[in-house]
Structure formats: C-alpha cells, structure tokens
Chains A and B, each alone.
Chain A
Amino acid sequence: MSKKLMKRSLFLLVISALLLGTAFVASAQPESYRIVHLAPLTGDASFQGQILVNAAKMAVDEINANGGINGVPIEYLTVDETSSTATGIEAVRKAIDLNPVAVIGPNRSGTILAAEDLWREAKIPFITDGTNADTTRKGNPYTFRIQIASTYWIPILAHTAKEYYGVEKAAIIYGTNEYSKGLYDATAPALEQYGIEEAIVQTYNDGDRDFTAQLLRIRASGAQAMFCYGYEAEIGMILRQRMQLGMGDLLVFGERGCSSPAVEEVAGKENIEGLVASTTLSQADPDPKRQAFMEKYNNMFPNEPLSPTHVNHYDSIYILADIIGRVGADREAIRDELANLDYQGTLAHYRADSEGNLVHTIYTQVVQDGEWVLLLEENHYNE
C-alpha cells in the first residue's frame, strides 16, 4: 500500500469519525422536548381546564424564554380531555400517539381509571391530578399525582369542624359524579373518627339548578354543619340558595373546589361568608414567592382568575424540566426520578411517596369579611 493511499484513507477515516461524532451529538440533543398536557377544555369541567393550561403554559414560556432545558426548548401541546370518560380515552390515546417524553394530566379521575392501562403499556410517565384515591393504587408505576387524594382532604375538614367550630352533627350533600362520590366515601370514616354524628346525606345530579328540597331536609335534620362536595357551579347555587332559605347559621365545609373564584361568582360574595375550604394553595398564604406567582398569574390572565388548586402544573413543568435537564429524554429515567422526587417548587415542596403522590401540604382557609383567611396548614407525608 502506498503512503499516499494510507494518508488518504486516514484522512477519510478522520472525516467520517467527525461526521459520526456530530451525528451522535445531534441525536443526543433533540430539537425539542415534547410535553403533552391533557386537560378538560370542553364540557362540565372546562372552567378548570383553562386554568390548568394557563398555569402550565406560564412555566413553559418562562423556561423557553430563558433558553429552554440546556438550550433545548420545550414543545408544549394540549389535548382536550373533554369532560366525558369515553372521549377522554380517545384523548389519552392521542396524547400517547404524539410520542411525548412525559404527559401532564388527565385531570378527571374517571379518565385516569379508564385509561391508565394505556400508558402503563406505552411506558410514559403521567403526572395526573384526579383526587380519587384509587387512581394511584392500581400499581401502575407510571402514574403520579400532583394533587391530594380525597382520603386526606376530608379528615382535615372533619377535624377542623370539631376542633374550631364544635360541630356535633353534620349533614352531607354531594353530586353524583365520581369526583364528589370519592369525597363522600371518605367522609363517613372521618366523621366517625372525630365523633361527629352524620345527620343526613343528600345527593343531586350534575346540572341540577334547584336544591331547595335537599336544603330543607338538611335543615329539618338539625345539622349544625354541611359538608358540600361537587363542581363549582352547583356548589355556588347551593350556597346561594342556603342564604335565600335563611339558613345562614348552617356552617359549610367544602373541599378544594370551594376556594375557586367560580364559586364566589355564582354564589355572590355575600353568600360565601364563613365558608371553610381546604386547598393545596391558599390565596392568603403570606409566602412572598407564592404571592408573586399569584399576582403574576392574575396579571397574565385577568379573565380567568386563579383557582388555587388548579395551578400546580406550573410546578409540574418545572419538575419535568429539572429532571429532563439531568437525565435527558429517556422516559424510564424520568419515571425513576419522579418516583424519588424531592423538589422545592414555587407553590409547594414536592416529595414522592410509595404511591406516586407528589403534594402533601393541605391548607384550610375560611372566608372572613369577604377575604380568604388562612386557618391551618398540615403536612401529610406517608413513607
């Protein structure tokens, strides 16, 4: 072999190695990291869907404006989960088909329970936010929850009712949807635990507009307090009709949905006085970081006022960005990181427990003189 040929082949070798190298670097650095957000943008639950998307979008814009994740932007796509389970399954399939590194949502417990097998097979981590305790108890290693399960909310409410308000006898009213039903199922054991007598249980169907019959029965039962579970529109109506029936002295305890400005809008400011609600973020929280976030959100979306329990996905995006920044787009690695999460976000401190629950701090707040006032803060972390 001549020297010239040797030189030439060596040159070719070096060039090809270089080319290969750049190709390798290019494949390690994708054009974007795709995150899909499943949120109910139409139907009964649509008012929260828009808030969920706003909060996540805010974080995506902030990260991308600061150069993305190690220089790679986040590609954020929303898929309408709708408010029905049948079309929700189609939406989950669509989200999986988009081949994302991770998915945020679904929001409705019904959709999560119906479709969790799909992402278990696809091996994509899903950060869901349904409150039904069962959603994270299916043994699906890819399901995470950035919400608090109904089994934690209710004991706190019962505890508050007993300790702070001296309630002995309580009525329950809930809507016949899986979300409210999940809360109701957690109520009976909680009332028993704190020695509160269950006076009467009333139900209504979603879309009902007249709750007089149920409220009058609650009055006749002699209950001092009412635990009220449902979607914002119905809760607002119940609170308004309670005052119209002159039942102002009946205390009302509600779950996170009650902290939503939608309830205030439907019920009227004067009718929610004294309402006690538990949430994952309190409007009255003195923490400057959280106050700054709430102010920024309300400035950006003046027409869709912040609902405190629907903005956690702001942190979901930051959590994912942090993990992807460390491990890249490998879904298996992202899942492992989520399962061992310990992260200080803007809105809360996030730690994964054995079931994949990420949030554990519950705030209980009450409306006093038209403003939310923080009553207590409790931490529930199970190893």
Chain B
Amino acid sequence: MAKLQQVFKRYGLLILGILLLVAPLVSAQYQFYVLERGVQNAIHVMGLLILIGYSGMLSLGSAGLLATGAYAYALLLLKLGFSPWLGAIFAVVITTLVGLCLAFPAFRLSGPFLAVTTIGFGEIIRILILNLEPITGGAYGVSGYSKLFANELHVYFFMVVALICIAIGTERLGRSRIGLALKATKEDEIAAEVMGVNVKRAKVVAFALSAMLAGLSGVILANLAGYLSPDSFTSAESSSYLLMVVMGGMNSAIGVIVSSIVVTWLPEVLRFLSSSRLLVYSLVLLVYLRINHVPATRERFLGILRKFGIRRAADAAEDPCGERGAGM
C-alpha cells in the first residue's frame, strides 16, 4: 500500500497523462466533450495555481483573460486574416500583455482590494466585448473562424500534451528561485523584501505566466466551441475557476488537473438539481476548507475515517509528507 502510494506520487503525472490519452477510446461523444472542456479548464487553472496557490494573490477576473485569449484568436483570424497558428501565438502574446497590466495595481494592493480590482477587470473585459459590437459582434458572438486542427481528436491530444508539459513546468517552477520567491511573498511580503526577494519582479512573473496560460486556454476554448459569446465569460465562471484551484490543494499540479476535470463535470452530474446545484459548489468549497484548514474539524473527520476502518488512508492524510507541508 505504502509502496503504491509512492509510485503514485512519483509517476502521478505520467499515469494521469496516459489515462487522459486513452480516455477518448472509452467515452461517448458528449462525455468526451466535457472531458475536453475539463482539460482546457485545467490549462487555465494551472495559471491560477501560480497566481493564487504560489503567490497568494486572489484573482477573481480570470474569465476576462480567458475571453481576451479566445476573442483575440477569433478576431485576428476573422478581421486580420491571420493563419490559425500565427493567430494562436499572437492571441497568447496579447493576453499576456493584458494580464501584465493587472500586475501594476497588484504592486500596491493586496488581499480583498486586489480581489475587487480583478473582479472589476473581468467585468470590464466582458462588457467591452458586449458593447464593442462592430469589432466583437456584441451579444451575437463570433463564429466562422478556422481552427488549428481539422480533426477534433487532434485538438484533444494537443491539449493533453500541452497540459502535461505545463504541469511539469509548473511543478518545477514551484521549486525554482522564482517559485520560492513567490511563496515567500505569499507568507510575508515585507519579510521577503527584507530577505532580498524582488517582490515586484515576482508579481510580474506570476501575472504574466497566469495570463499566458489563460490565453492559451482561451485559444483552445475557441477551437473547441467554434462559437464565442460574452455570456461564457461571466464572473460566475471566474469563481468556478477559483473553486478548481482551491479544491486542487492550491499547491499541486496533479491536484489542479483532477479538480478541474471534476468541477467541470459537476454541473453535468448535478443537472437534475437545476438551480439548487449552485448551492452545491459553495457547499463543496465550505466542506473542503473546513476539513483542510480547521484543525478541529480535520481531527474529527479523520476520526470518522478511522472508525470505518480506513485507518491507513487517514494516517497517510495526517502525514502529508513532502510537498504539501511546504504550502501550509
């Protein structure tokens, strides 16, 4: 059992990657599409992992960056006649630049103030898209742009390979100089600055990387859906991305991939609850935070696990060796 856990820990990403690559063979068309959306979300959420998980800067406007990437891709192709791959590269670059602009308020703001700023940013992007009708098509949305791959399956494989590469990169970044600087900033900004960490640079890197991944995810979204409209980028979407980061453990790339796919599935599984399913999101988040961040509840939860004879799992959870400790 312990050995198995070690294997999972070491080769987790590889196993996950292989599982994702064989998934299209066993799933029906509709389930496959939801999986595709899950993987696409995971790429976006990986950026939020760097921003929120590593550096502790709460962003609630990430749907705005996703929209920027998706619309930039579609409009570059439709209005300026770019080829799909060139359009994709430029869309990612544009999104990164837009995301960089967000880093400047982050120099001075933190906590709830930064969160409010990012909400505002997300809404501004959405309302701009809605009202800049001659360019963006407004409420009618945009469609009819060409895609990166003719075969839908190729988009998926491209996504999975990109996701695994990004996950490895993100994990390594977490242990690198910049990653440690970000984590230090999260713990105590002043202390980090005193220790010689260039806080501004760290913040700029975090925002740029997360915007870049949001842009890439947006380009893929445009490829998956074939149609873009502003109603896909509301602030409610931003909060479900937040749910994905938090449920993913805020510190692990594998966690983010799994939680992105699970949270993307949630509305599909909970369809029968209709409007009440929105409650379930908050409930999941609450329960998760109680168990993971309130020691008393955590103890009680582990006690219940032990009572039902799942001791080993409970003990393992109590001793999160290695990486998990670092972020707590």
Q: Which of A's residues lie within 8 Å of B, judged by CB?
A: 41-42, 46, 79-80, 82-87, 89-90, 93-94, 96-97, 110, 113-115, 117, 176-178, 180-182, 203, 205
Decide if B231 touches A94 in the complex (CB within 8 Å): no
Chain A min CB distance to B309 (Å):
38
Q: Does B151 reach chain A (CB closer than 8 Å)?
A: no
Decide if B29 touches A181 in the complex (CB within 8 Å): no
Chain B min CB distance to A344 (Å):
34
Q: List 21 A-B contacts (CB under 8 A).
A: A41-B274, A41-B275, A42-B274, A42-B275, A85-B227, A85-B232, A86-B232, A89-B227, A90-B30, A90-B268, A93-B30, A94-B268, A114-B143, A114-B225, A115-B227, A176-B138, A177-B139, A177-B231, A180-B139, A181-B139, A205-B127
Residues of A within 8 A of B29 (CB): 93, 96-97
Chain A min CB distance to B218 (Å):
12
Q: Does B267 reach chain A (CB closer than 8 Å)?
A: yes
Decide if A87 touches B267 in the complex (CB within 8 Å): yes
| A83 CA / B231 CA spacing, docked (Å) | 8
Decide if A96 touches B30 in the complex (CB within 8 Å): yes
A90-B33, A93-B33, A178-B141 given; A80·B271 CB < 8 A: yes
Decide if A113 touches B143 in the complex (CB within 8 Å): yes
Residues of A within 8 A of B95 (CB): none
Chain B min CB distance to A119 (Å):
12
A46-B275, A113-B141, A114-B225 given; A84·B231 CB < 8 A: yes
A85-B227, A89-B225, A93-B33 given; A42·B277 CB < 8 A: yes
Residues of A within 8 A of B267 (CB): 82, 87
Residues in B241-297 with C-beta less than 8 Å from chain A: 267-268, 271, 274-275, 277-278
Closest residue of chain A to B137 (Cβ to Cβ) is A178
Closest residue of chain B to A44 (Cβ to Cβ) is B231
Q: Does B140 reach chain A (CB closer than 8 Å)?
A: yes
Which 6 pairs between the two chains have the least Cβ-Cβ distance? A114-B227, A86-B232, A97-B30, A93-B30, A178-B139, A41-B274
Question: What total of chain B residues lie within 8 Å of the partner, measured CB to CB?
Answer: 30
Decide if A205 touches B231 in the complex (CB within 8 Å): no
| A212 CA / B33 CA spacing, docked (Å) | 44
Residues of B within 8 A of A46 (CB): 274-275
Q: Does B117 reach chain A (CB closer than 8 Å)?
A: no
Residues of A within 8 A of B138 (CB): 176, 181
Task: Please encode chain B, from 23 to 40, with 1 for each CB lying within 8 Å of some chain A CB and 0 for all others.
Answer: 000001111011001000
Decide if A113 touches B227 in the complex (CB within 8 Å): yes
Q: A42-B277, A176-B139 are in contact. List 15 more A-B contacts (CB 8 A).
A: A46-B275, A80-B271, A80-B274, A85-B141, A85-B229, A89-B227, A93-B30, A96-B29, A97-B28, A110-B139, A115-B227, A176-B131, A178-B140, A178-B141, A181-B139
Q: Does B234 reach chain A (CB closer than 8 Å)?
A: yes
| A236 CA / B193 CA spacing, docked (Å) | 55
Residues of B within 8 A of A114 (CB): 141, 143, 225-227, 229
| A163 CA / B141 CA spacing, docked (Å) | 36
Closest residue of chain A to B229 (Cβ to Cβ) is A85
Residue of A83, A90, A93, A181 touching B140 (CB-CB under 8 A): A181
Q: Does B180 reach chain A (CB closer than 8 Å)?
A: no
Decide if A110 touches B275 in the complex (CB within 8 Å): no
Residues of B within 8 A of A113 (CB): 140-141, 143, 227
| A110 CA / B227 CA spacing, docked (Å) | 9
Residues of A within 8 A of B229 (CB): 85-86, 110, 114, 178
| A203 CA / B133 CA spacing, docked (Å) | 12
Residues of B within 8 A of A82 (CB): 267
Residues of B within 8 A of A80 (CB): 271, 274
Q: Does B173 reach chain A (CB closer than 8 Å)?
A: no
Residue of A42, A110, A180 touching B231 (CB-CB under 8 A): A110
| A205 CA / B141 CA spacing, docked (Å) | 15
| A84 CA / B126 CA spacing, docked (Å) | 14
Task: Please encode chain B, from 144 to 164, with 1 for each CB lying within 8 Å of some chain A CB and 0 for all others.
Answer: 000000000000000000000
Decide if A110 touches B33 in the complex (CB within 8 Å): no
Residue of A83, A96, A110 touching B141 (CB-CB under 8 A): A110
Task: Please encode chain B, from 44 to 78, with 1 for each CB lying within 8 Å of some chain A CB and 0 for all others.
Answer: 00000000000000000000000000000000000
Residues of B within 8 A of A84 (CB): 231-232, 234
Most central of B29, B31, B268, B271 by chain A CB within 10 Å: B271
| A342 CA / B227 CA spacing, docked (Å) | 34
Residues in B219-239 with C-beta less than 8 Å from chain A: 221, 225-227, 229, 231-232, 234
Residues of A within 8 A of B227 (CB): 85, 89, 113-115
